Amino acid sequence: MKFNTKTIHGGQQPEPTTGAVMPPIFQTSTFAHAIPGEAQEYEYARGKNPTRTALENSLASLENGTHGFAFASGLAAIDCVLRLLKPGDQVIAGDDIYGGTYRMFTQLFQKYGLEFTYVNMNTVENVTKAITPKTKLVWLETPTNPLMKIADIANISSAVKSVNKEVLIAVDNTFATPYLQQPLNLGADIVMHSATKYLGGHSDLIMGALVVKEEKLAKDIHFIQFAAGAISGPMDSFLALRGIKTLHVRMQRHCENGKKVAQFLENHPKVGKVYYPGLESHPNYAIAKKQMKDFGGMVSFSLNENTKEATFKFLKSTKLFTLAESLGGVESLVNHPVTMSHASIPEKKRLKIGITAALIRLSVGIEAIEDLLADLEQALNI
Ligand code: P1T
């Protein structure tokens, strides 16, 4: 099946008892057992729920994996990946990642003895240089949140595996979605999503996802998901599955609008730096072009007047772009990383990699591009 068919049919069958084309919301915590002690497919809904199963099958199909897992949030999915490790293990992570991921690494898992090394993943060498005998996981986000850095998934995966094939490569694919890039095809072991974003697509749920292609890894993840319990509920699973059915058409428009917004900003006299992997001025444009089908709807930038005051004036002036955390919904949002999505990263660390108070992040929605550009123009001129 082509991707645009998989979003609708991948892993899906009509519900077996009624023929319902969409899986019903199985709002039940438990299932009647036929015989004591004899395992059956559905027993207790923390382990498995048919609505969640339908979603998990869809996720596996979209990412070209064999097993999908739906969690209570993106962070719950990341938490599950880290639980595959043990004290003393080292994780190599990108230096520009979602603030909540960084908070989990530094404030939760570091105290249980995991070691984290942060590197700029814009070159393969930066990653391989950080490998030690303790390295067990490489955590990639590409494009990164919020600086839109690009890491070469295929070359990093093969370089790391050639040093030690046991090291797991995990890719947070939230910004790209499987419509734009499929990390398992490029050599990664685990794909992670904040399904809250483009997969759900309508800003109406919080959810995380993992997809893998290897049986032992799937077994371990399923055990952690069941034992720790951070599953997605049936209603949210239904909503995410409904969202996924239009992922390809939404992404097409997100990409078209994202590119036009990035070009508009790059040519605007009041705008300073623009961060968008689809601009030829992006330092890793060639890698983005190689591994992504298109470049997505996330655009970051700063104003020429590089002050907090000017930035706040802009943030308060947009009308269609709503000032809010999150991204990936049909509506356009504007976010201020320093006070919102990346507030948990210490100032010194933020400034070192370029997340200044003047940075603005746009999640470009699928509205008419003329209205979006007009909104940005008026806000830039206030
Ligand atoms: O919010 P949650 O579903 O738990 O997902 C966490 C997460 C993980 N990875 C990336 C790349 C993310 O962007 C997020 C969540 N991000 C925001 C809420 C934000 O505004 O950037």
Atom of ligand 1 nearest to the CA of 145: 11
Atom of ligand 1 nearest to the CA of 174: 11
Contact, 214 vs 93, CB < 8 A?
A: no
Atom of ligand 1 nearest to the CA of 101: 8
Can you give the pTM of this predicted structure? 0.98
17 residue type, one letter = T
Whether 177 is in the pocket of ligand 1, judged by its Cβ within 6 Å, is no
Q: Determine the Cα–Cα distance for residues 299 and 361; give it in Å rounded to an integer.
A: 6
Q: Is 172 part of the annotated catalytic residue set?
A: yes
Whether 53 is in the pocket of ligand 1, judged by its Cβ within 6 Å, is no
Catalytic residue among 46, 242, 253, 313: 46
Q: Dihedral sign for Cα 47, 199, 221, 88, please.
A: negative
Atom of ligand 1 nearest to the CA of 206: 3
Q: How far is the CA of 75 from the centre of ligand 1 (A)?
A: 7
- pLDDT computed for residue 81 by the predictor: 98
Q: How far is the CA of 13 from the centre of ligand 1 (A)?
A: 30
**Token pair in block for residue 160:** 């790391």
- pLDDT computed for residue 306 by the predictor: 87
Whether 145 is in the pocket of ligand 1, judged by its Cβ within 6 Å, is yes
Catalytic residue among 98, 118, 275, 276: 98
- pLDDT computed for residue 54 by the predictor: 98
Using only C-alpha atoms, what is the Rg of the chain?
21
DSSP 182: -
Alpha-carbon 132 to chain mean position: 27
Q: Is 216 part of the annotated catalytic residue set?
A: no
Q: Is 98 part of the annotated catalytic residue set?
A: yes
pLDDT in tens, the chain (382 residues): 999 999 999 999 999 999 999 999 999 999 999 999 998 999 999 999 999 999 999 999 999 999 999 999 999 999 999 999 999 999 999 999 999 999 999 999 999 999 999 999 999 999 999 999 999 999 999 999 999 999 999 999 999 999 999 999 999 999 999 999 999 999 999 999 999 999 999 999 999 999 999 999 999 999 999 999 999 999 999 999 999 999 999 999 999 999 999 999 999 999 999 999 999 999 999 999 999 999 999 999 999 998 889 999 999 999 999 999 999 999 999 999 999 999 999 999 999 999 999 999 999 999 999 999 999 999 999 9
Kindly provide the residue ranges of all beta strands, DSSP E only, lying in the chain, ordered along the sequence.
67-71, 90-94, 115-119, 135-141, 168-172, 190-194, 208-212, 271-275, 298-303, 322-323, 333-335, 359-363
Residue whose pair of structure tokens reads 């097993």 in the numeric block: 67
Q: Is 197 part of the annotated catalytic residue set?
A: yes
How many Cα atoms occupy the beta-carbon half-sphere of 125 within 13 Å?
Answer: 0
Strands 322-323 and 90-94: unpaired
Catalytic residue among 79, 95, 172, 294: 172
DSSP 342: T
Q: Which of 78, 103, 194 to mutate to test the pocket of ligand 1 (most atoms within 8 A of CB)?
A: 194
79 residue type, one letter = D
Q: Whose CA is nearest to atom 18 of ligand 1?
A: 326
End-to-end CA distance of the chain: 49
Whether 328 is in the pocket of ligand 1, judged by its Cβ within 6 Å, is no
DSSP 112: G
Q: Which residues pair with 362 in a beta bridge?
A: 299, 334
Q: Whose CA is nearest to atom 13 of ligand 1?
A: 98
Whether 341 is in the pocket of ligand 1, judged by its Cβ within 6 Å, is yes
Give the H or E element holding residue 65.
none
Residues 6+ apart with CB under 8 A from 85: 91, 114, 136, 137
